[in-house]
């Protein structure tokens, strides 16, 4: 019998027995659903068996973690008392200072391109730790670490015209001399007499003096002056005069192995913090703005901890700014404090401010 004839027979039977075709469809649908449920129940049993099989791996979704607020990085400004705790430390020491693991060993060697010539460069990283007297809101010491990076270039420090070079003697005294004077170790003459420097001077590398002065201040090296007869002198606090001394060994500060710094040998300076671990110095902190991001900065000059007159460091800061240095860093001669930026007034009714470009120096 054909399918068409079979369907006609079914419809005729439904008409004779008064059976509603829709009821038949629902009945068939119910039967199919029951078959599906039985199949699913069978599959569920199989899944349960599979879960008991340790060789089967199932994906799982963890509960996750609660969203945490971003860690606030604080910046500081002003003059602060600090310990000098490390110079060019290795990874282990850096991890100990910050209390967290760093990614890799620090790299202190590089190159600097000056006038198209590539020269060896050594980075001197000096780490300062904030003195314990500075407390947080809970009364605990802040223990903040500040890093000062100084880039020594294997190039003699000279003036802009390259007519003079800067030299240093074993007591850290410096002077500007011509190339001819340097070749003959002549002491330059000033209007008030000969420069206070020994004849056994040598040229300074670029930025070497910054490192030397920081070390001298931290270790409280005695200042030695040189008279016209090449005699070392110390200052006598009792007589308020400079007097010739027979022993000037406590005034020695010049580095003897600077040349080795450019090959990665920093032995002469890495142990300096251990010589006087309790000594404190005062540093000038600033905040540098680079493409809208704030970075902590430290000025070149370091003061002895008992200094209360900041006129000298303010003058040196102004001179550095005038020479184009620290153009992106804001410094304040004030007591140590957390840095804050004065919010901009977005009120349309606010009084207009003066032309921000009225001073041509603000443009460049």
In the chain, where the domains are located: 3-44, 76-338
Low-confidence ranges of the chain (pLDDT < 50): 3, 6, 24, 26-27, 31, 47, 51, 54, 56, 58, 343-364
DSSP E strands, the chain: 76-87, 109-114, 117-130, 145-156, 164-168, 174-178, 189-190, 193-194, 202-203, 205-206, 225-226, 232-236, 241-244, 280-290, 293-304, 329-331, 337-338
pLDDT, position 10? 54
Q: What is the largest CA-CA distance in the chain?
A: 142
Residue closest to 296 by CA, chosen among 71, 121, 93, 76: 76
Q: How far apart are CA 356 and CA 362, in angstroms?
A: 8
Q: Which of 215, 207, 282 is nearest to 254 (CA)?
A: 215
Burial, 221: exposed, middle or buried (Cβ in 10 Å; 0-12, 13-18, 19+)? Answer: middle
pLDDT of residue 5: 52
| Structural contact between residues 105 and 264, judged by C-beta atoms closer than 8 angstroms | no
Residues 6+ apart with CB under 8 A from 313: 79, 284, 299, 301, 303, 333
pTM of the entire structure? 0.74
Q: To 5 degrees, how large is the angle CA 296–CA 328–CA 152?
A: 70
> What is the per-residue pLDDT for 349?
43
Question: CA 41, CA 52: separation in Å to the nearest integer?
Answer: 17
Residue of 78, 214, 83, 221 whose CA lies nearest to 149: 214
CA 14 – CA 177 distance, rounded (Å): 123
β-partners of residue 64 are none
How distant is the alpha carbon of residue 236 from its chain centre?
A: 41
């Amino acid at each position: 019998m054909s399918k068409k004839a079979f369907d006609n027979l079914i419809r005729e039977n439904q008409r004779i027995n008064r059976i509603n075709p829709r009821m038949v469809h629902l009945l068939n649908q119910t039967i199919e659903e029951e078959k599906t449920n039985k199949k699913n129940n069978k599959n569920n049993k199989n899944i349960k068996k599979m879960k008991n099989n340790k060789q089967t791996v199932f994906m799982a979704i963890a509960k996750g973690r609660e969203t945490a607020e971003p860690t606030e990085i604080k910046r500081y400004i002003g003059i602060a008392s600090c310990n000098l705790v490390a110079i060019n430390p290795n990874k282990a020491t850096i991890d100990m200072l910050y209390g967290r693991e760093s990614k890799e060993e620090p790299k202190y060697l590089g190159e600097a391109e000056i006038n198209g010539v590539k020269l060896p460069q050594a980075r001197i990283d000096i780490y300062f730790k904030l003195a314990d007297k500075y407390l947080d809101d809970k009364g605990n010491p802040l223990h903040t670490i500040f890093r000062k990076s100084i880039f020594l270039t294997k190039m003699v420090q000279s003036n802009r015209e390259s007519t003079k070079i800067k030299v240093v003697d074993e007591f850290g005294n410096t002077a500007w001399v011509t190339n001819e004077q340097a070749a003959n170790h002549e002491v330059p003459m000033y209007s008030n007499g000969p420069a206070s420097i020994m004849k056994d001077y040598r040229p300074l590398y670029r930025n070497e003096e910054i490192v030397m002065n920081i070390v001298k201040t931290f270790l409280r090296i005695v200042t030695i002056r040189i008279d016209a007869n090449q005699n070392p002198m110390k200052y006598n606090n009792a007589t308020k005069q400079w007097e010739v001394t027979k022993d000037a060994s406590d005034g020695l500060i010049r580095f003897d192995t600077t040349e080795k710094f450019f090959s990665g040998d920093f032995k002469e300076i890495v142990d300096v913090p251990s010589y006087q671990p309790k000594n404190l110095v005062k540093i000038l902190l600033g905040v540098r703005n680079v493409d809208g991001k704030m970075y902590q900065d430290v000025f070149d000059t370091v003061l002895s901890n008992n200094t209360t007159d900041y006129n000298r460091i303010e003058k040196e800061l102004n001179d550095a700014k005038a020479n184009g240095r620290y153009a992106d860093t804001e410094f304040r001669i004030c007591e140590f404090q957390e840095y804050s930026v004065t919010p901009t007034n977005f009120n349309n009714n606010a009084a207009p401010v003066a032309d921000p470009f009225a001073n041509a120096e603000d443009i460049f």
